[in-house]
Amino acid sequence: MSMNYIIPTEFGRFALLFDGTYLFKYDRTLATGQVVRGKGTFDLGTTGGVYPSVKFNAGVRYAIGGFGVGATMRYIGRFHECADTSGQFGGGGQCFADSTYRRQVKHYDVYDIYASYSFNSLAGKTTLALGINNIFDKPPALIYNGFTASTDPTTYDLLGRYFFGRLTQTF
């Protein structure tokens, strides 16, 4: 579901943004015929990432004239990770095989902010933007069975806090 609601006022434009997904199911059938229910677990993590029930981006923007500011929240819901049959995490445990040793990986939320300024020139429209992603420098979720850096780089941003600048020219 996606929503972008703009509220024009005499003091500028406010916008509310939402772009989210709800995963009803994600099943895979193994060569043996066994069905693996990937929703809400890391069972299929080595073949495509984390499959939590809920993921979304939400934000708010304000603009007046050529000036704009905004803030965004990126959210990844919780899921389960299982240990191997000896109870050790990091050994490639899969919940569909044995869910005796199961832990819940907490939800993950990071916040971004930006400011921009646009102006017209003989060359067209120029926009300058500055921002900070992951302003609280939150590390990615710890996934013991994850291949890279004990997490899932296809789902989580590994950079931590970073600053950016962008120049856009429209002719």
- Residue 75 burial by CB count (10 A; 0-12/13-18/19+): exposed, middle or buried? middle
> Does 15 or 101 have the greater pLDDT score?
15
Contact predicate 171/146, CB 8 Å:
no
Q: Of 78, 124, 134, whose CA–CA distance to 102 is shortest?
A: 78
Q: For 48-99, what is each residue's pLDDT tens digit?
A: 578 899 999 999 999 999 999 999 999 999 998 887 666 666 666 677 777 7
The yes-or-no verdict on residue 161 having pLDDT over 90 is yes
Q: 118: pLDDT confidence band, cut at 50, 70 and 90? A: very high
Predicted pLDDT of residue 3? 96
E-state strands within 65-152 = 67-76, 79-82, 102-105, 108-121, 124-133
Contact predicate 133/162, CB 8 Å:
yes
Give the three-class secondary structure for 90: coil
Give the three-class secondary structure for 45: helix
pTM value is 0.83
Q: What is the radius of gyration, based on Cα positions, of the chain? A: 21
User: What average pLDDT score do residues 119-145 get?
Assistant: 92
Predicted pLDDT of residue 136? 97
- Diameter of the chain by CA atoms? 69
> Does 132 or 121 have the greater pLDDT score?
132
> Does 89 or 158 have the greater pLDDT score?
158
What is the Cα–Cα distance from 95 to 45, expressed in whole angstroms?
11
Predicted pLDDT of residue 32? 84
The yes-or-no verdict on residue 47 having pLDDT over 70 is no
List, in sequence order, every residue forming a beta bridge with 31; answer none if it has no partner.
none
Number of separate helices (H) and strands (E) present in the chain: 0, 11
Contact predicate 143/155, CB 8 Å:
no
